[in-house]
Amino acid sequence: RVVVVVIVVDTRTMFARVKPLVVRASAFPRHRAHARASRIRAASSPQSPPPAPNVRELASARTAEDPYPRLSDGKIALKGMRRDDIANWLEGIGEKRSRTDAIVGAMYKHERRGGLTSRVADSTDFFGDKFRARLDEVASFDGDLVLDDVKLASDGTRKVTYKLQNEGGGVVESVIIPSLQEAGRTTVCVSSQLGCAMNCQFCYTAKMGLRKNLSAAQIVEQVVHARRMVGSDEVSNVVFMGMGEPLHNLDEVLTAVDILLDNKGMAFSRNKVTVSTSGLVPQMERFLQESEASLAVSLNATTDLIRNWIMPINRKYNLEELLGLLRREFPRKTLGRHQRQVFFEYIMLEGVNDSDEDAERLVEIAAGLPCKINLIYFNTHEGSEFKCSDQARIQAFRQKVVDGGVMCTIRQSRGDDDMAACGQLGSPGDKPAPPRMRDPRTRATM
């Protein structure tokens, strides 16, 4: 009997301790609470911050594991935090949660009032002297990136390189792509990793292998820098199609996307932020559950034989698994018309994936799946064994897909004269490149 009484007391105590965390999660919108719980269960990024403790305990728990992201100089990385996290942090250090709007405004808004500032000390329009001095001592608006170089292509595309300030350094690249038709429609192509582990055979970045994940602050800073360079009103779209596989750095990418979509912050439309993946199926499922951004899938082949060769990730998650997930998840019924469809990217490789039979299979893949297909010119690079399909073949391929009742467009190549185009980013250096895959069609004839 004594033992039973002790167990009951301990159980009640356990629930009493857990209760503050449950209350805290309920403060978020329903889907945000689910997202936060998922992040606590699975941290795919080595640089992602651990789950935040109860804010009431922060003042006395500063010797515990730090719950917030930090820069290389040890300061709190405010650009790597969602609005709610900033508010919780402020409360934890004894400041008013209401100061969150001013911090977010100084980092991302009010350009004419001196916003988009990179230093807390320069934010005189937003904070009083006392708070600004205290904030500058412990936190930073910096993104751990230093502008290295800007190269301008003949079509106006800019390849921007940044030096990473955190451990190990490195140089990461971003691309700013202006519209050729109208003002106010500039796209920023951001990188989420230094290098990439996916080893797609047609991609120059893949020759680097994976060097490190970028933090959410480093991802967001690429967009902020672009806005500084061309103007906030000019930048309309963000695509996660630069260096790296975004869903291989999922925690940091989810955080960065939330920051971009914050209506009181950077205020991008969910229809204007697109995350591309090579096909990491479990991470795709989590992304679709937790994020409102658009999803693009780099498909590039209509058979497992070819996709296993040019995209080795297919050996782990084949076309059946990939397309099965997409058919379960699309259309996304609660996020508006634009979000009802998935975007397929299809790089045109001569003699590899550009036959009439491939076009027919592509129509079969699209059957019953709300989608739009973008045909992409292959942008060559040194050492590549692939060639781009010629213009006539690409046009004929597109027409066959369209005749099959599928929406299909040809994406104009941009920045390819200065290695700023799709698949051309990065610098492998002198480190050994990942292994090249042999053409399975060649093996079959040997």
**Both tokens of residue 87?**
């508010």
Q: Which long-range contacts (CB under 8 A, 24 or more apart) does 380-389 make?
A: 381/204, 381/419, 381/423, 381/424, 383/207, 384/202, 384/204, 385/201, 386/201, 386/202, 386/349, 386/350, 386/352, 387/349, 387/350, 387/351, 388/348, 388/349, 388/350, 389/348, 389/349, 389/350, 389/354
**Both tokens of residue 129?**
């002297």
Question: Of these residues, 57, 91, 173, 200, which one is catalytic?
Answer: 173
Separation of alpha carbons 322 and 98, rounded Å: 44
Whether the upstream peptide bond of residue 428 has omega within 30° of 0, thus cis, is no
Answer yes or no: 252 catalytic: no
User: What would the DSSP string read from start to end of 269-318?
Assistant: -GGGEEEEES--HHHHHHHHHH--SEEEEE---SSHHHHHHH-GGGGTS-
Answer yes or no: 182 catalytic: no
Q: What is the DSSP letter of 81?
A: S
Report the DSSP pairing between strands 294-298 and 342-348: parallel
Question: What residues contact 287, with CB distance under 8 A and at least 6 apart?
Answer: 247, 250, 254, 275, 277, 295
Q: Cα–Cα distances in Å, from 185 out to 181, 260, 266?
A: 9, 16, 16
Question: Of these residues, 189, 371, 388, 422, which one is catalytic?
Answer: 422
Separation of alpha carbons 358 and 301, rounded Å: 8
Separation of alpha carbons 330 and 342, rounded Å: 7
**Amino acid in the structure at residue 9:** V
Dihedral angle sign, alpha carbons of residues 228, 421, 425, 189: positive
Separation of alpha carbons 266 and 217, rounded Å: 13
Separation of alpha carbons 336 and 331, rounded Å: 10
Report the DSSP pairing between strands 371-377 and 408-411: parallel
The residue assigned the tokens 């046009």 is: 395
Alpha helices (H) along 157-315: 216-230, 250-261, 281-290, 304-310
Q: What are the catalytic residues?
A: 173, 422
